Structure 1
């Protein structure tokens, strides 16, 4: 008996010895959480699209629910810099090449590098080359949404697509429509171009305030406010005997982000350290926050136009339409987020240092091609929620729950609670922004849109608006 017990123990011990290496290799959940650094999250809105870093909520429609209406608010695709931005980048490059000598060290690649903007006419336009081509990414997004939300189109109805009246926005809307509708684009998509002129009043995708919205902090963020850029310039100057300023260094980093839009990679990325990139990303957060976000006193009023109109659509439901695709600039999306109370910091962002952590990260909010989606869901009862209609917000494909309303399936918000919440926090746009009586006092194009296909293709080019400086 003793012999058998010893034998069994020996067999068990042998089994453990054999199994242990495999057990370590096959551990089902990794226990290491590294920084997960990516430059794609640290250039603000200047570079290619990337999905938002989620909070662990399944972005797929909850099992108890069916999406019956979708409202999309998207930024244009990846693009070249505006002329004014390009001029600042070129000024920094002139300092780099001023001594007309062979560069060494981290800048050695620049001896054979060429600027990525092919012609002067390319400024402000979407890119058409590389893996992050702006027009290609718009088409891919449309194709993806056809798979995801195609059940909301009956295959024969005319579906409106709304674009603000700016060339790159219009082209994004067109390519998205081609991706979504495919061969049916020419017959079933009705492109509506909504002028960006301030005389539109409230009937606009790009509303403006007619009161003074100047903010001193917005002016300050037009140049780098963090000390680290002085150190960056000093490091590069010492390496090659240059005379770069902190502002020059800042625009070289910006150049790197834009180069990704056209070429897919940039040797300038590796010129700068991870700390410098994190700081650069924060400077972009500051610009959005104080110039078109919660830090500007008129932002919520501007964002309330879209928030109010879409709240009405959600309450009317599919009878008002099942698909509403809208295309604008980044600085037309951030006011909507702010007005709806999404990702609003509890305190203003400091100008002199980077707060850790902070939720207002524009690399996650409005990269090129960034988009906000409102899903209206009809849900059956579950163990934790009643049957009814719910609203869920997605930002760059990640679910973003409301802090005070998240008791529905998939952390959604009941439509009635959503409505009450917005009615309590949204300001009155026409009063706060003193909209002239001669201008429209309401957004109406969601209900009285053009149903023809006459604008679906670029037969009459919208002239480039040189004075328009939004990024």
Structure 2
């Protein structure tokens, strides 16, 4: 990849960034409150700590990031909803006013469905290139001209593409020569530690969030529908599901086109916060802290992350790519939300720290850093980071910068693993689990294949 190509990739996010900057004088940016449908943004601090400020007498000796794929085009099912809605609009006789005055001329922004559906968008390319460049700058000491960089990807087109584009941002023109993507494929549920999507291997995994989410739908959607319907004169009658679709379109159209979607201007702040809370309920009860077994799928992988932080391997940075469900499962296991009150399906919990927009936006990521400190606080510590925001571990934040002593964090993670029992037990699988060999430290395994960026 030549320099002009790299400069092109670096500029991909500029139009949307400018659109976001135009809201800088306001307290509310809709693109930061769409749950899993938000383009990536740095999460707001809940700790008062700056990720770029390392505590005195400390240095980051290792860091491991697990990221969702970047912004993408819709999946086929979602795209069918877009086209069905578009056809309904075209078949109706109406006039739309105010914030909906664009409705008659609206059409889905996917130009080539066969090639684009479910794939990364141009906005996603920019997110990934910038992600790679950001980590290169953040951890300068982890790279030398002779460095080879391997990143990991779940065996799915958009996660593999995410890993490849990340490497171009991290390594620049040297990506093809010095970068490798390790694609992790595991169809054996007895070797779940070698999977970046273990829920696919668990028969007991079920997303049971609907009872909670539908309760909230019945509360927050009707008033929005009533208000918006008054902007339409004619025979076009909107449904509650189409109100939610309009908020979904705000996020997707903005990152696909690189400019803020007209749909974003339809919704009032409190209406968007209702949509965001719906996303929170979906993730909390679907595969998070309120989901029981279904929220435990990434506990073993977290154990592997912590074990890698404490081993003697020289490489200072690991990066892996997977999907939003796995990011939510991993974030829920970290200990930063331990003791968090269960989300109320009938009223927004204003003081909650669990917000899906800050956890699982497009390209949302979870990171653990090992800090080696000297002086009065000499020792090894873990710092937890979600989308560039430092999240203290509940009950373990006495170290420098509210970090957790590595040994104590290892014990906390082991306690979680013991609580849930083995993957085989909680997933109702028979058979004896083999010796666990994590792909993070052992690439010479049958389910790992290597490709170039």
Instruction: State the match for 1:246 in structure 2.
Output: 240
Counterpart contact for 1:77–1:368, Cα < 8 Å? yes
Structure 1 segments, 4+ long, off by >6 Å, are none
- Tell me if structure 1 keeps the 8 A contact 2:209–2:283: no
**For residues 343 and 222 of structure 1, do their structure 2 counterparts lie closer, same or farther at Cα, with a shift above 3 Å needed?**
same
Q: Separation in 1 of the partners of 2:208 and 2:142?
A: 46
- Structure 2 stretches of 5 or more lacking a match? 1-24
Q: State the distance in 2 between where 1:216 and 1:181 align.
A: 42
Structure 1 residues 357, 89: CA separation in 2 closer, same or farther (over 3 Å shift)?
farther
Matched, 1:190 2:180: yes
8 Å contact kept, 1:202–1:430: no
- CA deviation digits over 1:172-220, x for unaligned, max 9? 1101111111222222222101126465633101112534233643465
1:107 aligns with 2:100: yes
Residue 356 (str. 1) matches residue 350 (str. 2): yes
- 1:75 has 2:71 as partner: no
TM-score, normalisation: structure 1: 0.82
Q: Which residue does 2:12 correspond to in 1?
A: none
Which of 132, 137, 158 is the equivalent residue of 2:127? 137
1:323-360 C-alpha deviation (Å, 9 max, x unpaired) = 21101101111111112222246332122221222222
What is the CA-CA distance between 1:221 and the residue it aligns to? 3.0
Pairwise mapping of residues 29-178 of structure 1 onto structure 2 (< 5 A)?
A: 36-54=27-45, 55-60=47-52, 61-121=54-114, 122-128=116-122, 133-178=123-168
Quote the Cα distance in structure 1 between the aligned partners of 2:383 and 2:303. Answer: 16
Kindly tell me: are residues 146 and 390 of structure 1, through their superposed partners in 2, closer, same or farther at Cα, counting changes over 3 Å?
A: same
Change (3 A) 1:440 1:43: farther
Cα distance in 2 for residues equivalent to 1:332 and 1:373: 13
1:217 and 2:195 matched: no
Question: Offset of 1:435 from its aligned partner?
Answer: 4.3
The answer to whether residue 420 in structure 2 is matched with residue 430 in structure 1 is no
**Corresponding residue number in structure 2 for 1:460:** none
Write the distance in 2 (CA, Å) between the matches of 1:268 and 1:223: 25
Once residues 259 and 231 of structure 1 are traced to their aligned partners in structure 2, the CA distance between those partners, rounded to angstroms, is 24
Q: Secondary structure at the match of 1:70?
A: strand
Corresponding position: 1:397 with 2:388: yes
Deviates more, 1:351-360 or 1:368-377: 351-360
Q: Which runs of 5+ in 1 are unaligned?
A: 1-33, 458-471
Out of 267, 273, 276, which is 1:272 matched to?
Answer: 267
Please say which structure displays the higher CA radius of gyration.
Answer: 1
* Residue matched to 2:324: 330
Partner of 1:261: 255
How far apart in 2 are the matches of 1:302 and 1:74?
A: 16
* 2:299 pairs with one of 278, 281, 304: 304
| CA pair 216-374 structure 1, distance change in 2 beyond 3 A | closer
Aligned match of 1:416 in 407, 419, 427?
407
State the Cα distance separating 1:290 from its structure 2 match: 1.2
TM-score (structure 2 length as normaliser)? 0.85
1:227 is aligned, of 208, 219, 226, to 219
